[in-house]
Amino acid sequence: MSETKPQLVQIEKPIYGGAFLARVEGKAVFVPLTLPGEQANIRVVEDKRSYAIAEAEEIQSPAVERVAPGCRHFGMCGGCQYQHADYKAQLKFKQEILRETLDRASVPVSVEIDLLAAEPWTYRNRIRLALDAAGNIGYRGRRSHAVVPVAECPIAAPVLLKAASAFRDARLTAAPSLHPTELSLFCSSDEATVLASIFVARPAKVRLDQLGEEWRTAVPALAGMELAVEGRKDEPARSIARWGGLSLTYMAAGFGYRVDHGSFFQVNRWLVDALVERVTSGRSGKLAWDLFAGVGLFARKLAERFDRVVAVESAPPSIEALKMNLSGTVAEAIRSDALVFLRRQKAQRPDLIVVDPPRAGVGPEETAELVRIASPEIIYVSCDPATLARDLRTLTASGYVIHRIALADLFPQTFHLETVVELRRS
């Protein structure tokens, strides 16, 4: 396949990862920024043995779903993949991708895939930006690790971009010797409070109080920040200094959750209540387990409906917040790896198990333990359809049936998708 000669192709369908499928002489070609039904002149930029990656040089027959992107940086920035499609089409793409992924894994789904969706803009309560050698702040490029400086980010809460811009100026004034590589910003749902994490490649001496006061002058919502050294491969960053508050209060599902620096919390501020409702509504009993519990988003609500709840979390940044969020309830916080916890359970069989793992999924060993324990109901919250399909294949082959399934669009304008699967013993 030529890497220089443009070729006219028909775009067939979306694929997971943000590109769209075409074929040249039977070979799969992945083409970003196109849409199904379009004809496009493409140029191959990577030719692999079983597939190729191409760039569209000209769209000859635009699809009716094509719209003007909502951000001037779309196409250069690597953060969004679907801004050129109307929102209804984006949801359809994700439903198709989810169902095809499950079908390929031979996971039986006899029910419709429900949709949980909300406002598709200004939804992000957390962003992570990169800084180049010159101190420019932006996101990584679509096809490179280069930093694309950004002046706007319409999917993020406005206070976050305001804080990022103010950081650039405050650093030059109050901490010129500081050379951060990345900046993470997290805000409360109402944008009244912001926490910042500044990442550096090696320990640096800096007066965080001076930087913090200068920064907060421009962004009064700034409540606290930490300076952290990047970890080596597969190692977490190490906090070396802090200024201001260590946490913020995030209102969700009728409760004010404490969320600390580095703690996991769902990113979509418009959809988090609906997600909690989907996971917890209509369920009650004597005992529920919440694995990969984070700061207790689901466990706190389950504690209103079960006689006892056990919330299991292994990440250090989340433990203290989890304990505080569950204090005064029937829920107990346990610091443990999920697999270790499951292997220790020899007699108990909870009425409900909720799992909300990272992208790696629950995992084969953990899934085998879930099969052994045989809870009547499992709610699986997934942010990766491939690992979800892997784990569901084991669960459905072992007596569980998918009772309901929902695509929760926590990441509009991007290819990422969240899924909530309700499984019951047959």
The label of the residue with tokens 């669960």 reads 395
* DSSP conformation letters of 14-79: E-TTS-EEEEETTEEEEETT--TT-EEEEEEEEE-SSEEEEEEEEESS--TTB---SSTTBTTBSS
Q: Cα 237 to chain center, whole Å?
A: 19
Superfamily grouping for domain 7-66 = Nucleic acid-binding proteins (2.40.50.140)
Q: What is the pTM of this model?
A: 0.95
Q: Is 121 exposed, middle or buried (0-12, 13-18, 19+ CB in 10 A)?
A: middle
Domain with CATH 2.40.50.1070 in the chain: 126-250
Tokens encoding 16: 């997971």
How far is residue 410's CA from residue 421's CA, in Å, rounded to a whole number? 15
Which residues are marked as active site? 383
Element (H, E) at 369: helix 364-373
Farthest CA pair distance, the chain: 67
Q: Which residues of the chain have pLDDT under 50?
A: none
**What pLDDT is stored for residue 350 in this prediction?**
98
The label of the residue with tokens 């609906």 reads 274
Domain with CATH 3.40.50.150 in the chain: 89-120+269-425
The label of the residue with tokens 């406005």 reads 158
Domain with CATH 2.40.50.140 in the chain: 7-66
**What pLDDT is stored for residue 347 in this prediction?**
87
How far is residue 350's CA from residue 392's CA, in Å, rounded to a whole number? 19
Domain 126-250, architecture per CATH:
Beta Barrel (2.40)
**What pLDDT is stored for residue 4 in this prediction?**
62
Helix (H, G, I), strand (E, B) or coil at 344: helix
Q: What radius of gyration, in Å, describes the C-alpha atoms of the chain? A: 23
Q: Return phi, psi of residue 340, to 5°.
A: -60, -45
Per the DSSP assignment, residues forming a β-bridge with 311 are: 290, 333
Tokens encoding 353: 């198990």
The DSSP symbol for 141 reads B
How far is residue 195's CA from residue 184's CA, in Å, rounded to a whole number? 8
**What pLDDT is stored for residue 408 in this prediction?**
98
The DSSP symbol for 279 reads H
Does domain 89-120+269-425 fall under CATH 3.40.50.150? My reply is yes
The label of the residue with tokens 């690790």 reads 145
Other beta carbons within 10 angstroms of residue 26's beta carbon come to 5
Question: Is the sign of the CA dihedral 375, 376, 382, 388 positive or negative?
Answer: positive
**What pLDDT is stored for residue 32 in this prediction?**
98
Q: Is 168 exposed, middle or buried (0-12, 13-18, 19+ CB in 10 A)?
A: middle
